[in-house]
């Protein structure tokens, strides 16, 4: 009996030793600023915090940095008079300004912006395109149905150019000639900038490159998922996380920044927040909808912030694009080079919407078309050579070879290839070209540049796809996170797609990367200062 008991005791001790050895210890690290998410906003915040004297830790749940930023089309919106000087301004542009500056203002903020733009236009002597932060603000605020917070729109549009130049100073290269200021889908104005590197690689190469060059000050932990914020006496003082070798506690002497991106890839959250009636901005069920987003876009930051008492706003505003690849929902394979240079037809070869309009309006119109399917139609002017690439680094030649785009030497030949009635595609093309001459059409289109009349002609198929989440953590212009009573939660900041209040009900194309980097930069500086 004694022998059995002592053998059992030995087994218990051995089991204890094994358990101790294998149970992961909580590792502890500290820095001035801890940033959750190594995407556009998070890495911009890291660069900015370091430049403001902070030691920084960045947590990234995936094995690589970049998030949605690195796979994006990279368009960055900013009023930028020097670069817009060579962009022609036409009567339709002038009418757009006239319409929005003379309408009854929604509130004092819009009135202030209208008055500023009226004065700026009167004083405008440039030969190119008029633009200003105030005009960008009007379009952003109006284009999101006045749901955004005016002070966030103001700070955003006043700081996009400084942020672009800051990225440039830190090594990011932008394309400069007039052909590369363009209007990305739903941007409403030719103020989209294109980086030199393909996709969103230029942003991440710049900010991640900076982090790697400052390894002594910035440490990035990959495969490390933030699970909880640590709070002491009402202040956020750190982050709990799970890493590849166990659990972590990261203490932040000055501040924590949440930069975890949106929730476009989280089907459950999409369904939870897709609550609005369809005539008020809601969508049909998105359970089976495809998305453009990377798999890490699951909205983790919302849960972290909410547990710390943060206010979440505008989560019901989900953005779909009419530009998904029919097979995957991604944006790759999209043949449009800019809003002005293409039009859409449905499976009957008919135009059906203002292709220069808002993203929500275009997607809603697409959902009414046969099989919710459209063809983007453009011509040689978009692809001067077969090797010319789209915004996703794909040449038209390769897309045609892969059966993802079609080419015809005449409109009729193209129609036959994509299976739409030739007479309809011909009349849609004629209608579009007449619109270029008139600067207007029955669909209310205001963005015009070239006629589609240079063979070869190209077509590419697109479907609706989930793209962006406008709502999120409520912040103030200093990126401090607010609680449900509108007060600052000390020590907590947020930036990028995880935040709400900047875009309202509908984000303009090209505004998100400008938002992520502008507010990421502000968050880094403020957290470093421990405001």
Ligand X SMILES: Cc1cc2nc3c(=O)[nH]c(=O)nc-3n(C[C@H](O)[C@H](O)[C@H](O)COP(=O)(O)OP(=O)(O)OC[C@H]3O[C@@H](n4cnc5c(N)ncnc54)[C@H](O)[C@@H]3O)c2cc1C
446 binds ligand X (CB under 6 A): no
Cβ atoms of 92 and 283 within 8 Å: the answer is no
User: SS3 for 30?
Assistant: strand
Dig out the tokens for 17 from the structure.
């030793």
In the complex, what is the shortest distance from the CB of residue 115 to ligand X, in angstroms, rounded to a whole number?
28
Number of neighbours of residue 460 by Cβ within 10 angstroms: 25
In the complex, what is the shortest distance from the CB of residue 230 to ligand X, in angstroms, rounded to a whole number?
14
74 vs 415, which CB is nearer to ligand X?
74
Query: Which H or E run includes 261?
Result: none
Cα–Cα distance, 220 to 63 (Å, whole number): 11
Among residues 300, 336, 394, 474, the one that binds ligand X under rule CB under 6 A:
300
139 binds ligand X (CB under 6 A): no
**151 phi and psi angles, rounded to 5 deg:** -70, -25
351 vs 358, which CB is nearer to ligand X?
358
- Per the annotation, the verdict on 359 as an active-site residue is yes
Cα–Cα distance, 163 to 160 (Å, whole number): 5
71 binds ligand X (CB under 6 A): yes
User: How many C-alpha atoms does 37 have within 13 Å on its Cβ side?
Assistant: 34
Q: What would the x/- binding string for ligand X be over residues 146 to 185, using CB under 6 A?
A: --------------------------------------x-
38 binds ligand X (CB under 6 A): yes
- Candidates 83, 359, 404, 521; catalytic one: 359
Among residues 48, 50, 68, 132, the one that binds ligand X under rule CB under 6 A:
68
259 binds ligand X (CB under 6 A): yes
400 vs 516, which CB is nearer to ligand X?
516
333 binds ligand X (CB under 6 A): no
> CB under 6 A: which stretch of 69-77, 125-133, 137-145, 333-341 binds ligand X?
69-77
> CB under 6 A: which stretch of 98-106, 208-216, 280-288, 490-498 binds ligand X?
490-498
37 vs 491, which CB is nearer to ligand X?
37
Q: Which residues contact 481 (CB under 8 A, 6 or more apart)?
A: 258, 305, 308, 310, 473, 474, 475, 488, 489, 492, 493, 494
DSSP string, 170-191: TT--B--SGGG-B--TT--SS-
Task: Name residue, tokens 């139609």.
Answer: 377
Q: What would the x/- binding string for ligand X be over residues 178 to 217, using CB under 6 A?
A: ------x---------------------------------
Among residues 297, 466, 473, 528, the one that binds ligand X under rule CB under 6 A:
297
Dig out the tokens for 311 from the structure.
């206010």
The number of residues in the chain equals 531
Query: Which H or E run includes 28?
Result: strand 27-36
Number of neighbours of residue 363 by Cβ within 10 angstroms: 25
Interacting residue ranges for ligand X, rule: CB under 6 A: 36-42, 59-62, 67-69, 71-75, 184, 225-226, 259-261, 292-293, 296-297, 300, 331, 468, 496-498, 510-513, 516
Give catalytic residues, as residue numbers: 359
């Amino acid at each position: 009996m004694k022998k059995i008991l002592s053998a059992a005791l030995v087994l218990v001790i051995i089991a204890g030793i094994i358990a101790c050895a294998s149970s992961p210890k909580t590792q502890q690290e500290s820095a001035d600023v801890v940033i959750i998410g190594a995407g556009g906003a998070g890495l911009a915040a890291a660069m900015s915090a370091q430049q403001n004297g902070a030691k920084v830790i960045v947590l990234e749940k995936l094995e690589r940095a970049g998030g949605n930023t690195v796979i994006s089309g990279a368009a960055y919106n900013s009023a930028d008079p020097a670069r817009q000087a060579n962009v022609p301004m036409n009567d339709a542009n002038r009418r757009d300004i006239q319409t929005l500056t003379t309408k009854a203002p929604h509130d004092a903020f819009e009135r202030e912006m209208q008055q500023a733009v009226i004065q700026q236009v009167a004083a405008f002597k440039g030969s190119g395109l008029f633009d200003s932060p105030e005009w960008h603000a009007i379009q952003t605020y109006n284009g999101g149905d006045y749901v955004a917070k005016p002070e966030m729109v103001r700070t955003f549009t006043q700081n996009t150019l400084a942020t672009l130049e800051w990225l440039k100073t830190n090594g990011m290269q932008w394309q400069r000639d007039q052909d590369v200021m363009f209007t990305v889908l739903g941007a409403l104005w030719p103020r989209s900038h294109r980086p030199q590197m393909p996709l969103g690689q230029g942003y991440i190469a710049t900010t991640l490159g900076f982090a790697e060059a400052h390894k002594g000050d910035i440490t990035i932990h990959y495969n490390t998922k933030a699970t909880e914020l640590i709070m002491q006496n009402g202040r956020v003082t750190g982050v709990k996380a799970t890493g590849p070798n166990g659990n972590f506690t990261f203490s932040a002497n000055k501040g924590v920044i949440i930069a975890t991106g949106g929730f476009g890839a989280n089907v459950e959250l999409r369904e939870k927040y897709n609550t609005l009636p369809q005539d008020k901005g809601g969508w049909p069920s998105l359970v089976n909808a495809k998305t453009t987003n990377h798999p890490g876009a699951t909205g983790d930051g919302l849960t972290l912030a909410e547990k710390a008492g943060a206010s979440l706003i505008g989560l019901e505003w989900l953005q779909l694009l009419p530009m998904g690849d029919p097979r995957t929902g991604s944006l790759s394979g999209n043949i449009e080079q800019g809003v002005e240079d293409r039009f859409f037809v449905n499976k009957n070869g008919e135009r059906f919407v203002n292709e220069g309009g808002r993203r929500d309006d275009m997607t809603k119109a697409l959902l009414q078309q046969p099989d919710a399917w459209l063809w983007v139609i453009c011509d040689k002017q978009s692809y001067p050579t077969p090797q010319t690439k789209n915004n996703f680094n794909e040449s038209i030649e390769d897309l045609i070879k892969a059966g993802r785009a079609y080419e015809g030497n005449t409109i009729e030949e193209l129609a036959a290839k994509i299976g739409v009635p030739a007479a309809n595609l011909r009349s849609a093309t004629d209608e579009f070209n007449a619109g270029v001459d008139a600067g207007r059409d029955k669909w209310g289109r205001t963005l015009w540049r070239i006629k589609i009349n240079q063979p070869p002609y190209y077509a590419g198929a697109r479907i609706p796809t989930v793209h962006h989440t406008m709502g999120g953590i409520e912040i103030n212009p200093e990126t401090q996170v607010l609680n449900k009573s509108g007060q600052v939660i000390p020590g907590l900041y947020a930036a990028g797609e995880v935040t709400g209040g900047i875009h309202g009900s509908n984000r303009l194309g090209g505004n998100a990367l400008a938002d992520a980097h502008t507010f990421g930069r502000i968050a880094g500086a403020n957290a470093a200062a421990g405001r």
